[in-house]
Amino acid sequence: MSGLLTERVALVTGGGSGIGRATARAFAAEGATVAVADVDPEGGHQTVELIESDGGRASFIRADTSIAGEVENMVAEAVRTHGRLDCACNNAGIEGRVGTTTIDYDEGDWEHVINVNLKGVWLCMKYEITEMVEQGAGAIVNIASIAGLVGLSGSSPYAASKHGVVGITKTAALEFAKQGVRVNAVCPGVIDTPLLDRIVTRLPGRKQFYLDAQPIGRLGAPEEVAAAVVWLCTDQASFVTGHAFPVDGGFVAG
């Protein structure tokens, strides 16, 4: 692909690291202007610099996607700066206290994961879809997980949040299909990012466990997720909405 998103504007939350950074760069490589949003300004600015050094166009917006006012401002600033909003990847997410069972999770940790991973995606859709309906077109991709399709031991609120993301993706897709807004989810398998590094630092046995669980025999790269997100936002995917698309090396096929 190349130039499939020329003259379009894309917003990526959690764009300062991992899958979000790879997605922001992949949008820019297709010609989109990218608003990179993140709660971490350092990572976000680095992504903008990477896009600009590749010859693309990007800006940074600081936003915590679990806070309604910050999400409203994020979407407004993207539109104010770049004139419109055609594509959005709601990617910002956290892993929680991986390795803690359902009965050992405490209420605060549970709520934090739900607030960032589920409420945050809903808030993003709320303001993005409002803008896209006014424009009469738009494409959204929410980053769920294989844990949005099957259970994941030791990740109770994470799995709940990601199943929730799949549910609100399908719901919004039905609600806004006739108004030109497509909404899909991508469900990554185990992807080699700083999130995974944090898990295996805390739980060293996990890396081998994850590797052994991969039908394809290796971890995924963030760029392999980004490619699916970008395709779903192009006109090549014009009849695809309400889909939860695993990019997982075959994990959920088993």
- Considering only 24, 26, 36, 65, the residue that binds ligand NAD (CB under 6 A) is 65
User: Of 84-123, which residues contact ligand NAD (CB under 6 A)?
Assistant: 91-94, 116, 120
- In three-state form (DSSP H/G/I as H, E/B as E, the rest C), the secondary structure along 172-239 is HHHHHHHHCEEEEEEEECCECCHHHHHHHHHCCCHHHHHHHCCCCCCCECHHHHHHHHHHHHCHHHCC
One residue of 9, 20, 226, 228 binding ligand NAD per CB under 6 A = 20
- Nearest distance, CB of residue 198 and ligand NAD, angstroms: 7
Alpha carbon 3 to its chain's center: 22
Provide DSSP, 20-34: HHHHHHHHHHTT-EE
**Which listed residue (190, 232, 233, 237) binds ligand NAD by CB under 6 A?**
190
Residue 158 is a catalytic residue:
yes
Q: What are phi and psi of 35, to 5 degrees?
A: -95, 115
Binder of ligand NAD out of 5, 12, 18, 169 (CB under 6 A): 18
Closest separation in Å from C-beta 28 to ligand NAD: 17
Positions in the binding site for ligand NAD (CB under 6 A): 13-14, 16-20, 38-40, 43, 63-66, 91-94, 116, 120, 143, 145, 188, 190-191, 193-196
